[in-house]
Chains A and B, each alone.
Chain A
Amino acid sequence: MTNLDNQILDKIKDLKPKARWKFLFKNYLMWSLAIIFLIFASFACAWLIYLVVNNDWEYSKAIAGNFWDFWIASFPHIWFVFTIVFLLISYWNLTHTEKGYRIQKKHLIFLNVLIILFLGFIFCSFGLGNTIDSIDLEQSKIFNQRKVIWLNPEGGFLAGQVSEKNENSFKLIDFDGKLWTIDIEDANITPYTEDGVKILGTKTSENTFKAKEILPWSRIFLFEKDFFKELP
C-alpha cells in the first residue's frame, strides 16, 4: 500500500483539480432548465385548462353525435401531451441537480404537478389561456380544434367577432375572416364579451345565418379584467 501512495501521487503530480465554476455551471444549468420547463409546462397547462373549461361539453351530441367522438375531436390532446412532456423534462433536470436524488421520485412528480396546475390556473386567470384563440386557422387545426368545430355554418355552428350590432342583426367576422350577417330576431342571447361569440342556428344563404342561441365564446376566468366589468 505504501507503494500505492507513491503511484497515486505520481499520477496526480501533473494534474490540477477542475475549476469549481464548471461544476457549479452544470448544477445551475440543471436548475435553470428545470424551472424553464416547469414554466413551459404551466403555459401548456394554462391552454389546456382554458380549452377544457371552454369546451362545449353541453353541445357534444349536437356537434359530434356522441360524447366520445366529441371528446376525441375537441379535447386538447396536444396541450395535454406538451404538459406531460415538459413536466417530465423538468423532473429529469431536477433529479440531475446536485441533491435532486434526495427527494422521492413520486414526491417530486407530485410537487411538480401541483406547481404546474397552480401556475397554469394563475396564468389562465390572468388571460394567458385565451391567447390560444389568436392563432390563425391553419395552426388551430392542431392547437385549438374548438375554432375549427365552430367554423361549420352548414352544420349550424358559427363563431367569431361581432363587428357591428343593430337591433335585429349583427355583423360577424368568422375565424376564416368571412363576413356574415346574423339574424338575431328570435335568438336567445347570453351576455358576451369582446372575446367573441358562438352561435347555434341555420345557414340561410352564402353569407347570412339565422341564430337560435348566441353565447359568449369563452368563459371569464378569475382575475381577468372583464370579470369585474358589467357584461353588455
Chain B
Amino acid sequence: MSIRGFENTTDEEVVKLVLKDQKYFIILVDRYKEKLFRYISRISNFNEPEREDILQDVFVKVYVNLNSFNSSLKFSSWIYRITRNEVINNFRKFKRRPQIARIDPDDDFMSRIRSGLDLENEINIKVDMDYIKKVLNDINDKYKDVLILKFLEEKDYREISDILKIPMGTVATYINRGKKELKQKIKKYDKFR
C-alpha cells in the first residue's frame, strides 16, 4: 500500500483508519520505526537484530492494543510508552541492564544539553560526546530516562509524564536533579581536563 497522500493526516486520524482497515497500519510503522529504533538504542544495549525484534514486538502490541489508545493522549507518547515497556520486558527476559546510551554523531544532543545545562564553556565535542555518554550511563536510571526523553527525544514535560506514567511535577524534579548531577560531573571533568 502506498503511504503517499497521508502526510497531513494526524496519528490519531490514522489510528481511526487502522481500526477500520489493517492496511493503514503501515503509515504508523513508517512514521515511527526509525524514531523508535533510535529510542530503543538509546535506552538499551541490545544488538541490532535484538533491537529489530523488540521493534517488531512493539508494533504488534501497538496493533493489538490499538483500542486502548485514548485520544486525549498524544499517539507518540503512547507508542513511546509501549516501546519503553517492551524494552524493560526484554531486560527482564535476558536479565540485562542498559549500559550504553547511544548518541548518534548527527544528533544535536550536544547543543541541546549545553543550552539545557547552561554550560557556558566551549568544550570539545568529540571528547565530551564520549564523556557525556559515560556520565549519562553513570547517573541514576530514573534521571537518565527523563534526560534521554528531554534532550534526545525532545519530548515536553506532558509527553514525558505520559510516557513514564509519572506526574509532571516529578518529571520536573527528575530533570532538575538529573541536570544537576550531569552538570556536576561535566564540570568535574572540565576541571581536570
Which chain A residues have a beta carbon within 8 Å of chain B's beta carbons? Answer: 1, 4-5, 7-9, 11-13, 15-20, 22-23, 98-99, 101-105
**CB pair A15 B63 closer than 8 Å:** yes
Q: Is B68 an interface residue (CB 8 A)?
A: yes
- How many contacts between A and B, using CB within 8 angstroms? 66
Residues in A with CB closer than 8 Å to B166 are 101
Contact flag A17-B65 (CB < 8 Å), given A8-B59, A98-B70, A104-B167: yes
Contact flag A104-B170 (CB < 8 Å), given A5-B30, A18-B68: yes
**CB pair B56 A4 closer than 8 Å:** yes
**CB pair A4 B63 closer than 8 Å:** no
Minimum CB–CB distance for A2 against chain B, Å: 10
Query: Would you give 11 A-B contacts (Cβ < 8 Å), ordered by A?
Result: A1-B37, A12-B63, A15-B60, A17-B63, A17-B67, A18-B65, A18-B68, A22-B67, A23-B65, A23-B68, A104-B169
CB contacts under 8 Å to A, within B1-50, are: 19, 22, 25-26, 29-30, 33-34, 37
Residues in B with CB closer than 8 Å to A19 are 67
Contact flag A103-B167 (CB < 8 Å), given A15-B64, A17-B19, A20-B67: yes
Report the separation of the CA atoms of residues A17 and B72 in the bound assembly, to the nearest whole angstrom.
19
Report the separation of the CA atoms of residues A132 and B22 in the bound assembly, to the nearest whole angstrom.
60
Report the separation of the CA atoms of residues A184 and B65 in the bound assembly, to the nearest whole angstrom.
75
Q: Is B52 an interface residue (CB 8 A)?
A: yes
Residues in A with CB closer than 8 Å to B167 are 101-105
**CB pair B33 A1 closer than 8 Å:** yes
Interface string of B168-188 (1 = CB under 8 A from A): 111000000000000000000
Report the separation of the CA atoms of residues A200 and B124 in the bound assembly, to the nearest whole angstrom.
87
Report the separation of the CA atoms of residues A100 and B127 in the bound assembly, to the nearest whole angstrom.
43
**CB pair B30 A101 closer than 8 Å:** no
Report the separation of the CA atoms of residues A158 and B37 in the bound assembly, to the nearest whole angstrom.
77
**CB pair B33 A4 closer than 8 Å:** yes
